[in-house]
Amino acid sequence: MAAPPRVAESVLQLMIQEMVASVERSMLPEAEAAGPEAAALAVHAKLDAQGYDVGFRFIERVAQQRLIASEPLEAIKFVCKDLWSELYGKPIDKLQTNHRGVFVIRDNNFKLTSRHSSKSDVAAKQSQLKYIKFPCGLIRGALANLGYAASVTADVETAEAGGSTSFHVRLLA
């Protein structure tokens, strides 16, 4: 059986950049009425919801082709290896857990955040936040389809601190 066709990484990055810009344009009337902070939260929520939908659907497609383990750690490992490799071309660099339902997933060279720089760290951080909401939703959606409700947040370190992106996954009871 031939391997399924893959999308070039640059095309995926351009698609996500355009998706962020499109969501921001669609929220422009709300931004003028609600203020910049409320508008940013609305943009983040919409990007997270879109990521959730993609992650949920991805698991539906993959589940037709192979068996996925039902233990929480195995579900997280599936996200780190299979989901991440399929979408971003490489597995997650590091997975840590406290064995109480909290996992830290680290990508040391996450392309969506590594290309955002600005004269100020605050502006760069705000720009990066928009681009990590989609992958946070991806993780939440994938885990939801595997039967685990989760809360996912992310943190981006500055280039001086290593430049990695960490996703904090808390499985909800």
- Beta bridge pairs of residue 28: none
- Beta bridge pairs of residue 103: 97, 169
pLDDT confidence of residue 12 = 73
Per-residue pLDDT tens for 17-51? 888 888 888 877 766 677 778 888 888 899 999 99
Give residue for tokens 């939440």: 140
Per-residue pLDDT tens for 107-146? 988 877 765 555 556 666 777 788 899 999 999 999 999 9
Count of CA atoms in the C-beta half-sphere (13 A) of 95: 16
Per-residue pLDDT tens for 72-92? 888 899 889 888 888 888 899
Give the integer Cα–Cα distance in Å for 171 and 173. Answer: 7
Per-residue pLDDT tens for 146-168? 999 999 999 887 665 556 889 99
Is 155 or 68 the better-scoring residue by pLDDT? 155
8 A C-beta contact, residue 104 and residue 95? yes
Complete DSSP assignment for 115-159: T---SSHHHHHHHHHHHHHHHHHHHHHHHHHTT--EEEEEEE--G
pLDDT confidence of residue 54 = 92
In order of their start, the domains of the chain are 9-171 (3.30.1380.20)
pTM (2 decimals)?
0.84
- Beta bridge pairs of residue 167: 105, 154
pLDDT confidence of residue 5 = 61
Structure tokens at 34: 């609600």
Q: Which of 98-102, 109-113, 169-173 has the highest mean pLDDT?
A: 169-173
pLDDT confidence of residue 115 = 59
